Amino acid sequence: LKKLRRGLGKTRQGLVNQIKAVVGQGPLNQDGVTEIETLLLQADVGVTATDRVLEALQTKLRAETLPPDEAIDYLKQLLREMLEEPYQKDYAPAITPERGTLNIWLMTGVNGAGKTTTIGKITHVAKQSGYNCLIAAADTFRAAAVEQVKVWGARSGVDVIANPGQNTDPAAVVYDAIAAAHSRESDLLLVDTAGRLQNKKNLMTELEKVRRIIDKKAPQAKVESLLVLDATLGQNGLRQAQVFSEAAQLTGVVLTKLDGTAKGGVALAVVQQLGLPIRFIGAGEGITDLRPFSSYEFVEALLS
Ligand code: GDP
């Protein structure tokens, strides 16, 4: 949490001090709201989410005056509510999945986003919590990717299913991995996929094929499709997210590299523009640097 706070400190200094400078001079007024708009956009919160904040602030100001502290509290509450919108009512922040069934988590995202690292972090936590895990190295496009995922598998003590040879079919690897997961009675199968965004059609075809194999071989499994997104990309990351959301039937987002970025506000843009919940956040390169997303923690780290 400290790392997240420190990391988001860059956003925070940019954001909270400036917001305080705006609201600290007395009750919030329309000029103040316009300044807050600029600040939110600079923090990569995005147009859609910013517009919603402004609308709510303006409505509130019509009914009452907002002294500085109340204005900050109200802003925090607004941001929290917006971040919580895509979650199911019973959502409780946790890294590990449901017990008593096979969970398959398809990890997507462009190369360098932090997919492999995130898989390593998740399996580490899951294994420590007593889950029987397996990794499918289905990024068969890059030989290095298979090696890298094996390194993380070894680190967390989790087996990796891979096909020897380059350019093997990712769907075939997933097929083998599901068979292995069934025979070992695994709780969680993490699938590393290729992240070639340059060719959207290939990406879609590949992911669709993998989905078909999962539906056929493991119809009972609880499937999640998680996009791993590099927070330091800010609004550019949002465009990537849009492409993946068209290709991968995403169910959530993992926001990485929140340590040391001034672009933490992108979380709000992702949630508001794509309607996807942020599931986990990465705040470092180490195996323990993953946290389940909590809107409360996030907003406190962003605005306190
Ligand atoms: P992949 O290509 O998507 O599998 O990305 P990798 O998992 O190989 O990560 C790319 C780089 O980002 C590596 O140098 C990781 O150490 C680094 N990385 C991943 N997650 C984080 C994070 O949360 N914080 C920081 N600072 N670096 C990260």
> Which tens digits make up the pLDDT trace of 253-303?
999 998 877 678 889 999 999 999 999 999 999 999 999 999 998 888 777
pLDDT of residue 304: 62
pLDDT tens for the chain, 304 residues: list them.
677 776 665 555 557 677 777 777 778 888 888 888 988 888 888 899 999 999 999 898 888 888 888 888 999 999 999 999 988 777 777 899 989 999 999 999 998 999 999 999 999 999 999 999 999 999 887 778 889 999 999 999 999 999 876 668 899 999 999 999 999 999 999 999 987 766 778 888 888 899 999 999 999 999 999 999 999 998 888 888 888 888 888 999 999 998 877 678 889 999 999 999 999 999 999 999 999 999 998 888 777 6
pLDDT of residue 14: 57
pLDDT of residue 197: 67
Dist. CA 29 → ligand 1 center (Å): 42
The rounded distance, in Å, linking the Cα atoms of 274 and 49 is 11
pLDDT of residue 140: 82
DSSP string across 138-207: E-TT-HHHHHHHHHHHHHHT-EEE--SSTT--HHHHHHHHHHHHHHTT-SEEEEEE----S-HHHHHHHH
Closest CA to 268 of 95, 85, 109: 85
> Is 288 labelled as part of a ligand binding site?
no
Dist. CA 279 → ligand 1 center (Å): 17
For ligand 1, atom 13: residue with the closest CA: 114
**pTM metric for this prediction:** 0.91
- Residue-wise pLDDT for 109-143, tens only, equals 998 999 999 999 999 999 999 999 999 999 887 77
Task: Judge contact between 225 and 251, C-beta under 8 A.
Answer: yes
> Is 193 labelled as part of a ligand binding site?
yes
Ligand 1 pocket member 139 (CB < 6 A): no
> Is 44 labelled as part of a ligand binding site?
no
> Is 111 labelled as part of a ligand binding site?
yes
For ligand 1, atom 16: residue with the closest CA: 285
Ligand 1 pocket member 232 (CB < 6 A): no
The rounded distance, in Å, linking the Cα atoms of 144 and 293 is 30
User: ipTM, 2 decimals?
Assistant: 0.99
Q: Residue 30: how many CB atoms within 10 A of its CB? A: 10
Ligand 1 pocket member 282 (CB < 6 A): yes
Dist. CA 209 → ligand 1 center (Å): 26
pLDDT of residue 261: 72
Residue 181 corresponds to which amino acid? A
Ligand 1 pocket member 113 (CB < 6 A): yes
pLDDT of residue 9: 58
For ligand 1, atom 10: residue with the closest CA: 112
Dist. CA 92 → ligand 1 center (Å): 26
